[in-house]
C-alpha cells in the first residue's frame, strides 16, 4: 500500500484525490467494481493502477473491453495522456486483422464487446492477466454469448476490474451477471433464483423490486468503490428544461389514428411489455418526424415546428450543442435541414466507423466546427468527453434511464467550464410521460405496461 502511495503518476495530467484513491483500490482488489459516476475519470484511475501493477511485475498485459465508440476517442487517447511510456493497440476489423494486432505484444489491447468472441482463442494465448471492462452493464445478462465468452476467458488468477457509473440502472436483476463474474459466491447458481430474491411477481408480465432489493444488490456487487461527481468535482450547474413543440396537422392526424388503433387492439386483452414497447415506439416515431410502416416503408412528416424550437435552442446556446435523436430516419431528416441552413453538423450513429467517430469527436472538441453533433444515443452515450458543448437537446426521449443519464453526462464532466442545460423537446402525450419517468429516475422498462395504458387512456 505504501508503494502505491509513492507511485509516480505518469503523463501530462496529475490525479485528483478521488482518482488516486480509486487507483489504490484497484491495486488492492484483484476482482472488483468501480461505480464512480460518469465524468469522474475512471479510465485514468484504471490506467495508473494497471501501470503500477506492471511496474511491480504483477501484471504483464492488459485487455480493455469497451464500447466501439470509445476505443480510440477515450481509451487510446487516455493511454497516450496518462501512460505515454506504454504501448497500446486497438483490435478492430476482420478476424485476421484483430489477430495480428493482438499478437504484436503491446502492453494494452483495446477491443469492443462483440470483438472478443471473434478472437477469443487468440486472447486466451495472449498473456492477458488483467481485464478491464468499461461500461460493464453490457455483461449484466449471464445467459448471453457475450457473457459466456468472457467468463470462459477469465481464469482464477486473472485480475478483473468492471467499471460503470450506472450499475443495475434498469432493474435489480441486472446485478446478477456482474456479480456472478466478479463475486460468484455472493449470488445463487441460477439467475431465476436471484430474480426471486430481488423482485416480486405481480402478474405473468409484471415484476416489481422488493424493498430489500437495494441492499441485496449492494451486498452482491462487492468489492466496490464509488465516488459521485458532487463528492469530487467542482462542476458548473446542470439545468433541465422542457420545451413544448406543436405537432403538425399531419402528425396529429396519424398520432390519433394510431392511438385509436392501439386502444382497439388492447381492449379486453392482456397487454404484454413487448406489445406496449412496440406501440409506444410507433407513437414516439410519429412525434419525432418519421414512422416506419408495417411493410417497412418510411412515412415522413413535416418537422417545421420541432425544428424551429431546436434552432431557438442552438441560437441561444453559448457553446456547441449535442442533439440526441433515437430514430435513424429522423436523424437524416434533421441533419439535412441543419446543413441546408448553414449550421456545421456531423452525425454519430451505428453506421459511422470507429476511426471516423474518433476524428469527429476530436474535431468537435478542438476545432470551430462542427457546431452541432446529431447523435443516435446508443452510439455515443458512454465514455466520450464532449465538453465543447454545454447544451444537450433531446429531439425525442429514449426508454433507457441508463442511456439517458450517460448521454447527458457527455457534457457534464471534468473539463466543463460552462453551465450546462438539458433541453427536452416534447409535443405529444407519450413524450411527456416518458420524460416524466426519466426525470424521476424511474425505470421505464419496469413500468412500461402501466405507462402504455396511461398514454392510451
Are 350 and 440 members of one domain? Answer: yes
Mean of pLDDT values over 255-274: 73
Confidence (pLDDT) at 268: 55
Mean of pLDDT values over 36-49: 89
Query: Which band of pLDDT confidence, cut at 50, 70 and 90, is reported for residue 267?
Result: low
- Boundary (domain end) residue, out of 232, 257, 287: 232
Are 78 and 225 members of one domain? Answer: yes
Cα angle for residues 112, 73, 99 (degrees, 5° grid): 35
Cis? peptide before 328, omega within 30° of 0: no
26 exposure class (CB count in 10 Å sphere: 0-12, 13-18, 19+)? buried
- Boundary (domain end) residue, out of 207, 232, 257: 232
Residue 216 has pLDDT above 50, yes or no: yes
> In this structure, are residues 154 and 160 in contact, taking their beta carbons and an 8 Å threshold?
yes
- What pLDDT, in 10s, does the model give residues 310-350? 998 898 888 999 999 999 999 999 999 999 999 999 999 98
Are 194 and 309 members of one domain? Answer: no
Cα 337 vs. chain centroid, distance in angstroms?
A: 27
Are 14 and 134 members of one domain? Answer: yes
Contacts of 189 (CB under 8 A, 6+ apart): none
Best-predicted range by mean pLDDT (184-188, 263-267, 291-295): 184-188
Q: Bridge-partner residues for 88, per DSSP? A: 108
HEC string of the chain equals CHHHHCCCCCCCCCCCHHHHHHHHHHHHCCEEEECCCCCCCHHHHHHHHHHHHHHCCCCCCEEEEECHHHHHHHHHHHHHHHCCCCCEEEECCCHHHHHHHHCCCCCEEEEEHHHHHHCHHHHHCCCCCEEEEECHHHHCCCCCHHHHHHHHHCCCCCEEEEECCCCCCCCHHHHHHHHHHHCHHHCCCCHHHHHHHHEEEEECCEEEECCCHHHHHHHHCCCEECCCHHHHCCCCCEEEEEEECCCCHHHHHHHHHHHHHHHHHHCCCCCCHHHHHHHHHHHHHHHHCEEECCCCCEEECCCHHHHHHHHHHHHHCCCEEEEECCCHHHHHHHHHHHHHCCCCEEEECCCCCHHHHHHHHHHHHHCCCCCEEEECHHHCCCCCCCCCEEEEEECCCCCCHHHHHHHHCCCCCCCCCCCEEEEEEECCHHHHHHHHHHHCCCCHHHHHHHHHHHHHC
Among 172, 191, 232, 194, residue whose Cα is nearest residue 38: 232
CATH code at 39? Answer: 3.40.50.10810
Are 133 and 280 members of one domain? Answer: no
Query: Which band of pLDDT confidence, cut at 50, 70 and 90, is reported for residue 269?
Result: low
- Boundary (domain end) residue, out of 169, 198, 232: 232
CA dist 308 and 49 (Å) reads 49
Confidence (pLDDT) at 185: 94
Percentage of the residues of the chain whose pLDDT score is greater than 90: 59
- What pLDDT, in 10s, does the model give residues 383-411? 788 999 999 999 999 988 888 988 999 99
CA dist 449 and 455 (Å) reads 10
Residue 65 has pLDDT above 50, yes or no: yes
pTM over 0.85: no
Are 74 and 191 members of one domain? Answer: yes
Are 243 and 379 members of one domain? Answer: yes
Are 77 and 107 members of one domain? Answer: yes
> Taking phi first (over 0 means left), then psi (-120 to 50 degrees means alpha), and beta for anything else, what does residue 305 get?
alpha
Are 136 and 248 members of one domain? Answer: no
Are 15 and 163 members of one domain? Answer: yes
Residue 90 has pLDDT above 90, yes or no: yes
Percentage of the residues of the chain whose pLDDT score is greater than 70: 95
Could you list the residue range(s) of the whole structural domain that residue 321 is in? 238-456
> In this structure, are residues 411 and 39 in contact, taking their beta carbons and an 8 Å threshold?
no
* Residue 130 main-chain phi, psi, to 5 deg: -135, 130
Contacts of 194 (CB under 8 A, 6+ apart): 173, 175, 176, 187, 188
Residue 1 has pLDDT above 50, yes or no: no
Average pLDDT, the chain: 89
216: number of Cβ within 10 Å: 19
Are 140 and 45 members of one domain? Answer: yes
Grid coordinates representing 215 are 441492499
Are 82 and 223 members of one domain? Answer: yes
> Taking phi first (over 0 means left), then psi (-120 to 50 degrees means alpha), and beta for anything else, what does residue 71 get?
alpha
Residue 45 has pLDDT above 80, yes or no: yes
> In this structure, are residues 149 and 120 in contact, taking their beta carbons and an 8 Å threshold?
yes
CA dist 259 and 287 (Å) reads 12
Domain tally for the chain? 2
- What pLDDT, in 10s, does the model give residues 140-171? 999 999 999 999 999 999 999 999 987 887 78
CA dist 67 and 133 (Å) reads 9
Q: Which of 73-77, 264-268, 358-362, 450-454 has the lowest mean pLDDT?
A: 264-268
> For residue 92, how many C-alpha atoms fall within 13 Å in the half-sphere facing its CB?
20
> In this structure, are residues 337 and 363 in contact, taking their beta carbons and an 8 Å threshold?
no
Amino acid at each position: 500500500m505504501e508503494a502505491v502511495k509513492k507511485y509516480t503518476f505518469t503523463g501530462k495530467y496529475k490525479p485528483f484525490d478521488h482518482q488516486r484513491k480509486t487507483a489504490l483500490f484497484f491495486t488492492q482488489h484483484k476482482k472488483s467494481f468501480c461505480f464512480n459516476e460518469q465524468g469522474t475519470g475512471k479510465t485514468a484511475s484504471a490506467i495508473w493502477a494497471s501501470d503500477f501493477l506492471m511496474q511491480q511485475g504483477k501484471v504483464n498485459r492488459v485487455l480493455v473491453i469497451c464500447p466501439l465508440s470509445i476505443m480510440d476517442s477515450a481509451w487510446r487517447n487516455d493511454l497516450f495522456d496518462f501512460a505515454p511510456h506504454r504501448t497500446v493497440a486497438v483490435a478492430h476489423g476482420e478476424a485476421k486483422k484483430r489477430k495480428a494486432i493482438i499478437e504484436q505484444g503491446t502492453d494494452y489491447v483495446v477491443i469492443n464487446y462483440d470483438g472478443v468472441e471473434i478472437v477469443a482463442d487468440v486472447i486466451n494465448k495472449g498473456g492477458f492477466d488483467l481485464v478491464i471492462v468499461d461500461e460493464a452493464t453490457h455483461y449484466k445478462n449471464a445467459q448471453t454469448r457475450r457473457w459466456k465468452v468472457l467468463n470462459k476467458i477469465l481464469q482464477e488468477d486473472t485480475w478483473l476490474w468492471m467499471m460503470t457509473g450506472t450499475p443495475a440502472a434498469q432493474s435489480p436483476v441486472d446485478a446478477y451477471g456482474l456479480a456472478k463474474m466478479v463475486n460468484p459466491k455472493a449470488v445463487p447458481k441460477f439467475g431465476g433464483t436471484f430474480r426471486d430474491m430481488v423482485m416480486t411477481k405481480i402478474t405473468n408480465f409484471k415484476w416489481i423490486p422488493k424493498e430489500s432489493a437495494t441492499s441485496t444488490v449492494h451486498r452482491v456487487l462487492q468489492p466496490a468503490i464509488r465516488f459521485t461527481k458532487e463528492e469530487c468535482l467542482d462542476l458548473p450547474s446542470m439545468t433541465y428544461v422542457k420545451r413544448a413543440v406543436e405537432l403538425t396537422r399531419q402528425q396529429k392526424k396519424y398520432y390519433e389514428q394510431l392511438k385509436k388503433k392501439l386502444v382497439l387492439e388492447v381492449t379486453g386483452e392482456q397487454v404484454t411489455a413487448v406489445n406496449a414497447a412496440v406501440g409506444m415506439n410507433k407513437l414516439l416515431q410519429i412525434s419525432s418526424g418519421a414512422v416506419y410502416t408495417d411493410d417497412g416503408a418510411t412515412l415522413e412528416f413535416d418537422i417545421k415546428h420541432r425544428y424551429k424550437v431546436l434552432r431557438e435552442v442552438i441560437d441561444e446556446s453559448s457553446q456547441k450543442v449535442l442533439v440526441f435523436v433515437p430514430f435513424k430516419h429522423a436523424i437524416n431528416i434533421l441533419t439535412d435541414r441543419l446543413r441546408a441552413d448553414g449550421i456545421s453538423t456531423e452525425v454519430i450513429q451505428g453506421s459511422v466507423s470507429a476511426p471516423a467517430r474518433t476524428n469527429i469527436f476530436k474535431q468537435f472538441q478542438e476545432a470551430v466546427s462542427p457546431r452541432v453533433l446529431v447523435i443516435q444515443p446508443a452510439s455515443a452515450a458512454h465514455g466520450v468527453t464532449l465538453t465543447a458543448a454545454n447544451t444537450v437537446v433531446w429531439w425525442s426521449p429514449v426508454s433507457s434511464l441508463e442511456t439517458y443519464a450517460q448521454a447527458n453526462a457527455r457534457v457534464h464532466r471534468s473539463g466543463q467550464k460552462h453551465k450546462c442545460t438539458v433541453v427536452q423537446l416534447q409535443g405529444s402525450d407519450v413524450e411527456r410521460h416518458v420524460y416524466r419517468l426519466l426525470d424521476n429516475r424511474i425505470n421505464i422498462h419496469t413500468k412500461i405496461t402501466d405507462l402504455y395504458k396511461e398514454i392510451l387512456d
